[in-house]
Amino acid sequence: VSEIMVRIPTPLRGFVGGAAEVRARGDTVAEVLRDLGARHGELLARLLNERGELRPFVNVYLDARNVRTLGGLQAAVQPGGVLSIVPAVAGGLPEATPSPPGALP
Amino acid sequence: VSAPLPGTSSAGGAGALHLPAASRRTIEGVAARGYPHEVCGLLLGRPTPGGAEVMEAVEVRNASLERTRDRYRLDPEDFLRIDLRARALGWDVVGIWHSHPDHPARPSTTDREHAWDEYVYVIVSVEQGTATALRAWCLQGGEFREVEVSSDPQPRRQEEARS
């Protein structure tokens, strides 16, 4: 079983006692996350939905590759690898309220 | 593994964002040049209770190519690359900045839906190509609260005075 380093972004550090990095064990990304979840259940709930799938606002990188491009959570991890949790960052302007045709500005 | 930074004296009450004048100029300049498109970036530095101390403001490509006028999205690979660089310097990603072309520097519903706890969100309003206001916000209990912005030691001058 491989032990690898998991990098935690600032917004999720409260779930791991403030640590920027934690270690976890497993042979696949899913096993590593489950191992992490055994100690930090709330963190796991932020990463995976009820069906055990990665939440849409969360990205997981194995070294420099997005695990979504590596076959998902079943991707194999190697000893010495680094798993990075990367928050999805987005936003924007208020939704425009379309004015009806002919309405005054 | 770095320990959380003990509270610095700069944070007054509800927390504050220390944004060096150079970083502020970067944000306002990039936002103005990007008008009428929305531009975005990351704030690197150190978290403080309820706020952050910014060391550097970095521009990041807006990956929301189909809607650059009213949406921004960071490519996670850009985030990862910049985050690694920040950590090598002993810093962290402490916040996100973006522009609101021809809209106030207040978070929108879209901003709130995508926001994360702990990050400071800086919004710069750009009206007709000129940066007119810069405000900072933090998510607390699912709602944004404004965070005071302070710059370098010299007293803030009327940064909006331009005629």
pLDDT digits (tens, 9 = 90+) for A9-21: 999 999 999 999 9
Give the model confidence (pLDDT) of B144-156 as tens digits. 999 999 997 644 4
Helix (H, G, I), strand (E, B), or coil: what is residue A67?
Answer: helix
CB contact under 8 A, A84 and B83: yes
Residues of B in contact with A85 (CB under 8 A): none
- A20 to chain B, any CB pair closer than 8 A? The answer is yes
CB contact under 8 A, A89 and B74: yes
- A89 contacts B74 by C-beta, under 8 angstroms: yes
- B112 contacts B139 by C-beta, under 8 angstroms: yes
Q: What percent of chain B has pLDDT over 90?
A: 77
Of B42, B108, B119, the CB nearest to A94: B108
- pLDDT given for residue B15 in this prediction: 81
CB contact under 8 A, A20 and B94: no
pLDDT surpasses 70 at A102: no
- B47 contacts B90 by C-beta, under 8 angstroms: no
- pLDDT given for residue B2 in this prediction: 40
Q: Which helix H or strand E contains A4, and what residues bound it?
A: strand A3-7
Residues of A in contact with B138 (CB under 8 A): none
Lowest mean pLDDT among A29-38, A39-48, B13-22, B98-107: B13-22
- What's the pLDDT band for B14 if we cut at 50, 70, 90? low
For B13-78, give the DSSP string: TT-EEE--HHHHHHHHHHHHHHTTS--EEEEEEEEETTEEEEEEEEEE----GGGTTTEEE--HHH
- pLDDT given for residue A94 in this prediction: 83
Give the model confidence (pLDDT) of A28-58 as tens digits. 999 999 999 999 999 999 999 999 999 999 9
- pLDDT given for residue B97 in this prediction: 97
Give the model confidence (pLDDT) of A62-100 as tens digits. 999 999 999 999 999 999 999 999 999 999 888 764 444
* Whole-complex ipTM: 0.86
Q: Which residues of B touch A (CB under 8 A)?
A: 1-4, 38, 40, 42, 47, 64, 67, 69-74, 76-77, 79-80, 83, 87, 92-94, 96, 98, 100-101, 103, 107-111, 114-119, 121
More confident residue, A74 or B68: A74
- pLDDT given for residue A54 in this prediction: 94
Of B102, B121, B116, nearest in space to B42 by CA: B121
- pLDDT given for residue B153 in this prediction: 64
Residues of B in contact with A95 (CB under 8 A): 108-110
Structure tokens at B149: 């912005």
More confident residue, A73 or A104: A73
pLDDT surpasses 70 at B6: no
Residue in chain B closest to A57 (alpha carbons) equals B114
Measured CA to CA, the distance from residue B146 to residue B158 in angstroms comes to 20
Helix (H, G, I), strand (E, B), or coil: what is residue A91?
Answer: strand
Per-residue CA distances from B11 to B31, B78, B95, B117 (Å): 27, 30, 16, 18
- A87 to chain B, any CB pair closer than 8 A? The answer is yes
